């Protein structure tokens, strides 16, 4: 009798747990093999295991559930619970979102982390107003320039079709007299193969993921900036999440931030080697190109500070103070 009661209680408990089990869909814009996506998959496993399946995170890479441009809105509006997005792509909503894409402001992993930490309180506040809670953020490797020919100066760039991924990269194209065309990373191979784009600024990691050596020949390690991907949860859903699950998710997020940073650092050299093996020339920019780019960087920094106003200046001051 007692045993039956115990079994019944156990069965009832299992049923209750099963009823509470929730699937959180997590759209990702980048391919499954990209290090951010692999890191997100590990984060998802960490949460699923840590909550004993009460919350199961299911990642959807390559823009398969929502494309990059739609991920942030999908989280804000609760179409999905959680997701990952390149935040600088939303600079049109708030210039602070592009603090990590100001040319030559922070060009190393160390400096970009300092800049991100200096900006974090203001970023979290801005995201909070959009019903978003930041869980973790991971930088891409330093951004370099890809072309299908040798380029020694900005003058050599005139008229080239340049793939952009945010307003900063579109503005960069304007200032260098290239022709910007906005394309998601997941569509790059196609874009270069068909000639829709002939160049871009991005990490070695993205060029490697997209096998750009099939169409492009040169990568210049100009180290312009290190943009961040943010993993965010819908704030209403976060507020309703049980405290013990929240603690698990926060722990997993902290691990994911550290693992992601490590992976990004490791991928920097690894993927540049991959580009070389694919037959590309991987080299630093010429002195002329470097000087030309520095001048453009100054213009773009001034423009960003103008747009971002006092909040932007405060972040830059805090960052420079920490340096």
- Would you tell me which residues interact with ligand PCA (CB under 6 A)? 86, 140, 165, 185, 202-203, 205-206, 227
> With respect to ligand PCA, which residue has the nearer C-beta, 60 or 163?
163
> With respect to ligand PCA, which residue has the nearer C-beta, 54 or 60?
60
C-alpha–C-alpha distance, residues 257 and 265, integer Å? 12
> With respect to ligand PCA, which residue has the nearer C-beta, 198 or 241?
198
Helices (H), 183-225: 188-193, 204-209
User: Please, what is the minimum distance in Å from the beta carbon of residue 104 to ligand PCA?
Assistant: 16
> With respect to ligand PCA, which residue has the nearer C-beta, 51 or 297?
297
> With respect to ligand PCA, which residue has the nearer C-beta, 81 or 202?
202
Residues in the chain, overall count: 323
Helices (H), the chain: 2-20, 35-50, 68-76, 109-129, 167-175, 188-193, 204-209, 235-240, 243-277, 287-322
User: Please, what is the minimum distance in Å from the beta carbon of residue 205 to ligand PCA?
Assistant: 6
User: Please, what is the minimum distance in Å from the beta carbon of residue 278 to ligand PCA?
Assistant: 17
User: Please, what is the minimum distance in Å from the beta carbon of residue 39 to ligand PCA?
Assistant: 14
Tokens for 239, please give them: 């507020």
Residue nearest to ligand PCA (CB): 203
> With respect to ligand PCA, which residue has the nearer C-beta, 69 or 237?
69
User: Please, what is the minimum distance in Å from the beta carbon of residue 165 to ligand PCA?
Assistant: 4
Best CA proximity match to 143, nearest among 81, 239, 47, 223? 223
Tokens for 17, please give them: 């747990």
Task: Please give the full DSSP string across 41-79, using - where no structure is assigned.
Answer: HHHHHHHHHHTTTSEEEEEETTTTSS-HHHHHHHHHTTS
User: Please, what is the minimum distance in Å from the beta carbon of residue 222 to ligand PCA?
Assistant: 13
DSSP three-state, residue 229:
strand
Q: What is the DSSP pairing of strand 132-139 with strand 228-234? A: antiparallel
């Amino acid at each position: 009798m007692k045993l039956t009661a115990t079994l019944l209680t156990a069965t009832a408990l299992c049923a209750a747990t099963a009823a509470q089990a929730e699937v959180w869909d997590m759209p990702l814009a980048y391919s499954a093999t990209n290090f951010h996506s692999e890191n997100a998959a590990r984060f998802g496993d960490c949460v699923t295991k840590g909550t004993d399946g009460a919350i199961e995170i299911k990642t959807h890479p390559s823009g398969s559930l929502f494309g990059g441009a739609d991920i942030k809105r999908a989280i804000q509006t609760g179409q999905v619970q959680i997701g990952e997005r390149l935040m600088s792509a939303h600079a049109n909503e708030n210039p602070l979102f592009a603090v990590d894409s100001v040319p030559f402001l922070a060009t190393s992993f160390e400096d970009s982390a300092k800049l991100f930490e200096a900006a974090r309180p203001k970023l979290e506040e801005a995201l909070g107003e959009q019903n978003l809670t930041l869980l973790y953020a991971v930088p891409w490797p330093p951004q370099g320039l890809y072309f299908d020919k040798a380029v020694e100066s900005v003058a050599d760039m005139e008229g080239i079709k340049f793939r952009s991924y945010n307003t900063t990269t579109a503005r960069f194209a304007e200032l260098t007299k290239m022709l910007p065309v906005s394309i998601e990373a997941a569509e790059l191979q196609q874009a270069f193969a068909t000639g829709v784009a002939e160049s871009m600024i991005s990490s070695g990691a993205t060029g490697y993921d997209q096998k750009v050596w099939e169409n492009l020949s040169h990568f210049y390690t100009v180290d312009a900036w290190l943009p961040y991907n943010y993993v965010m949860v819908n704030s209403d859903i976060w507020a309703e999440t049980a405290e013990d699950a929240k603690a698990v998710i926060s722990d997993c997020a902290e691990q994911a931030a550290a693992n992601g940073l490590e992976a990004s650092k490791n991928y920097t050299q690894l993927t540049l080697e991959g580009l070389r093996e694919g037959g590309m020339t991987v080299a630093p920019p010429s002195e002329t190109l470097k000087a030309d780019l520095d001048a453009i960087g100054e213009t773009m920094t001034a423009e960003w500070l103008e747009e971002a106003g006092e909040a932007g200046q405060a972040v830059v001051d805090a960052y420079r103070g920490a340096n």
